[in-house]
Amino acid sequence: MGTLRPSQLIYHFGPGSIVDMMDQSVIVMAADMWNTHNTPQEKDERITRALNIDHIKILNERPNTVKVRAKPFPKWKICPNCNMMTEFTNTHCYHCDQKGEEVELYPSRFVVACNHGHIQDFPYVEWVHKDKTCTSDKPALKFIRQGNSGSLSDLYVQCVKCKEKQSLGKIMQKDALKSVLPSCTGERPWVGDKQSCTETMETYLRGASNIYSPAVTSFLQIPLSEQNKDPLYNDVIENKTALLKASEKGEDVLLMQMNILNIDESGLEKIQQILAGEYEEEVTYQSIRKQEWNTLVQEDVDDSYGTGYKSTTVDIHDQMKSYFSSIHKVESLPEIQVLQGFTRIDYIDRFEVTDSKDLLPIMKNTKTNWLPGARNNGEGIFFQFDQNKLMEWSRETNPSEITTDIITRYNKQRDQLGYSTMPIESKHLLIHTFSHALIKELAIHSGYSTTSLKERIYCSDDMQGVLIYTASGDSEGSLGGLIEQATPDKLYPVFIRAIERMMYCSSDPNCSEGEFKFQSTANGAACHSCSYVSETSCEWGNQLLDRRLLLNINPGDTYGFFEE
């Protein structure tokens, strides 16, 4: 049918997505129905444990060995010449063929789906005959355009057998299909089965962005330092014999032994699990970030012959030393992107990378023990903010005065989507806004496009930094342009220009006031004209941004972190 790039199979056109090929529209079938027998496998323990799988199949290392299965979808096709509609598998119009004309059919624009991810063709026959039963056993439909506005109200479908005709003007309205589709049919064409479902189906455009939202988890494949290990776990293992003997004599004796070893009593339950061999460290968004952080902050790491990761500490310009405790040039940065599943209609939670319970499956066999992924090798610059400076800024400027409403709005959005609230602080917004400012400026000087650069935010009680990196699968992956900017004499001008550009916006004063009363996103002084980057570059969906935290942009402002 055609070809796709491996990165497209991970992000845009994975199993369950609708793809417009050169001559037809298809739906990509489940990944375990593909031919991937000779595809290289990755068994990184940290990644496989986080995702609860045995291995990852790396699609972009031998792309010619991957054969992806797909089938035509939607089934309904329309002739641009005579406007007759058909559900048959032919690619050319039968009626025009009878006249000696060869006319290629085009797929229907509409599909119907439910909130549980089931999807099928729009029920044209039932829609046309919702008021009157067809006089023929085999209805034949014709697509009719009336008027020149291009709106749905100008589109009609008519049965040429009984002459019944219906407008498509109201098909996108809520509950419009209840009379013809009382409940969902439960069809999963990418898997090839049906489920029982009581949801109501709604009409969507075939190419709508919410028809397919992939859940892609990104892992930096870097060497793990000793700091990554749980200190309590290490203490228990080192003193396992003594603790086991104490445990056999009762909980009181065990607590006494813990006091002797200076182990906090609050960890009693966890210690008992470790001693019994039942403890497994929980893998979360924060735990993965913490592991990466502990390696990134090390001065010089060269694991070129292992994971491929290599980083060195660079000198900090005198004018930047008060803001950053270290800056690292990451010369080689392997990244693995894994497709876990996808959603329809609803979007995924960006902060719960290991939570797959609400995702639609990309495998037909539920016992399949692998997931598709792609490995890219890039480069980056890592900035570690000075913790004392951040604490001083938070204490003296009280940024929560302007960030509390933003954070509340963001958590309300999460609550509406059924996600748990996040413990976000003002420094999250500061680091995130700084990251966007730097991405936009580095794109100008490094030779990469802004879509090729990504951010990785590290922010918690003991983490405060950002990694700007590139990990594209094409020729832009690692050309050295980014790390070339990491020298003090080059990075300082980039830093200054990045901050200064945040001073003004073409939407000021509306933007600079930070009033989000009529905004649909949780931001302060931030908009498309000044702070937004591409969705593939931003971890947080262009939310939690406020350039007033970078510097004082309005008269009377005192919240700026960087001094003028």
Is residue 128 a part of any domain in this protein?
yes
Is residue 451 a part of any domain in this protein?
no
Q: Is pLDDT at 274 greater than 90 in this prediction?
A: no
Same domain, 120 and 198: yes
Is residue 51 a part of any domain in this protein?
no
User: Pick from 140, 133, 188: which is nearest to 160 by CA?
Assistant: 140
Q: At CA 529, angle to CA 525 and CA 532, rounded to 5?
A: 70
Whether the link from the prior residue into 74 is cis, omega within 30° of 0, is yes
Same domain, 116 and 184: yes
Residue 280's pLDDT band, with cuts at 50, 70 and 90, is low
Is residue 41 a part of any domain in this protein?
no
Which two three-digit tokens encode residue 418?
Answer: 């059924």
Give CA–CA dist 109/113, Å, rounded.
13
Q: Is pLDDT at 417 greater than 80 in this prediction?
A: no
State how many domains the chain has: 2
Which two three-digit tokens encode residue 156?
Answer: 């009609």
Provide the pLDDT for residue 228.
46
Q: At CA 325, angle to CA 319 and CA 330, rounded to 5?
A: 100
Which two three-digit tokens encode residue 301?
Answer: 């790491």
User: How many CA atoms does the CB half-sphere of 2 hold within 13 Å?
Assistant: 18
Picking from 275, 301, 333, the residue at the C-terminal end of a domain is: 275
Same domain, 201 and 235: no
Picking from 214, 240, 275, the residue at the C-terminal end of a domain is: 275
Is residue 239 a part of any domain in this protein?
yes
Picking from 152, 171, 205, the residue at the C-terminal end of a domain is: 205
Which two three-digit tokens encode residue 512?
Answer: 């600079």
Place of tokens 């002797």: 260
Give CA–CA dist 341/14, Å, rounded.
9
Which two three-digit tokens encode residue 396?
Answer: 């003296």
Same domain, 187 and 132: yes
Provide the pLDDT for residue 353.
53
Q: What is the pLDDT of residues 74-89, one digit of tens each?
A: 999 999 999 999 988 8
Is residue 173 a part of any domain in this protein?
yes
Same domain, 193 and 235: no
The strand pair at 370-385 and 55-58 is best described as: parallel
Is residue 507 a part of any domain in this protein?
no
User: Pick from 10, 9, 28: which is nearest to 18 by CA?
Assistant: 28
User: Pick from 367, 385, 380: which is nearest to 331 by CA?
Assistant: 380
Q: In Å, how far are 90, 157, 326 from 11, measured between CA atoms?
A: 30, 35, 33
CB 166 within 8 A of CB 128: yes
Q: For the residues 50-63, what does the mean pLDDT come to?
A: 89
Of 298-307, 355-364, 450-459, minimum mean pLDDT range: 355-364
Same domain, 114 and 150: yes
Would you state the torsion angle of the CA atoms of residues 427, 430, 434, 436, taken in this order, to the nearest 10 degrees? 110
Q: What is the pLDDT of residues 327-360, one digit of tens each?
A: 999 998 888 999 999 988 877 776 665 555 678 9
Q: What is the pLDDT of residues 126-157, one digit of tens each?
A: 898 888 888 888 889 999 888 777 788 888 99
Share of the chain above pLDDT 70, in %: 91
Q: Is the dihedral of CA 298, 544, 408, 353 positive or negative?
A: negative
Same domain, 198 and 113: yes
Q: Can you give the residue range of the structural domain that contains 256?
A: 231-275
Is residue 241 a part of any domain in this protein?
yes
Q: For the residues 355-383, what does the mean pLDDT come to?
A: 87
Q: For the residues 236-264, what does the mean pLDDT come to?
A: 77
Which two three-digit tokens encode residue 561?
Answer: 């972190």
Across all residues in the chain, what is the average pLDDT?
Answer: 86
**Of 279 and 458, more confident:** 458
Residue 189's pLDDT band, with cuts at 50, 70 and 90, is very high
Give CA–CA dist 407/538, Å, rounded.
17
User: How many CB atoms are located within 10 Å of the residue 230 CB?
Assistant: 14
Provide the pLDDT for residue 416.
82
Look at the chain and count its residues: 564
Q: For the residues 16-24, what does the mean pLDDT come to?
A: 87
